[in-house]
Amino acid sequence: MNVEHIRHLYEYHFTRNHKLLDYCEEKLTDGQFTQKLTIAMESIRNLFVHIIDTDERWFCGLRGVDVPGVGDVTRFSNPNEIREHWKKIEKDMREYLKKIHDDDIEKPFEQTMQVWHVLFHVVNHGTHHRAQIVSALRQLKIDPIPQDYIFYVLGKI
């Protein structure tokens, strides 16, 4: 794995986050967005906030800046509020990703991890929780949009 592969995976991560959030904004009422469901984190909103918070926390650690505490999910009531917050987090992530080189991703991080382990984990974590959002949409009887990485690579999503 090299830094170009990492950047490619992050384009997938960012693109799918945007598309799924946009889709939820289009298809869900604010009540459905925050509705308690039988899913991890209890609501679609909470899952999106969890993805953002996790992205931010790991990237603060990678950049060597203070890691914020986990935010209160109720600070967001709709997708647009999340989108506005996410713009800053994604901007910081993109700046970090622009600056790193192949040798940087091989550096040790914490314990037995290397930087590339963390970078891969963040993308994988997002994929996991986007799948839960897709499941939640199904619970609400809303057909989800595709999330498969291979469809992204093939240009089909």
pLDDT of residue 59: 98
For the chain, what is the mean pLDDT?
Answer: 95
* % of the chain beyond a pLDDT of 70: 100
pLDDT of residue 38: 86
The domain ranges of the chain are 3-153
20 near 12, Cβ under 8 Å?
no
- Whole-model pTM: value is 0.94
In CATH terms, is domain 3-153 a member of 1.10.3210.10?
no
Residues of the chain under the 70 pLDDT cut = none
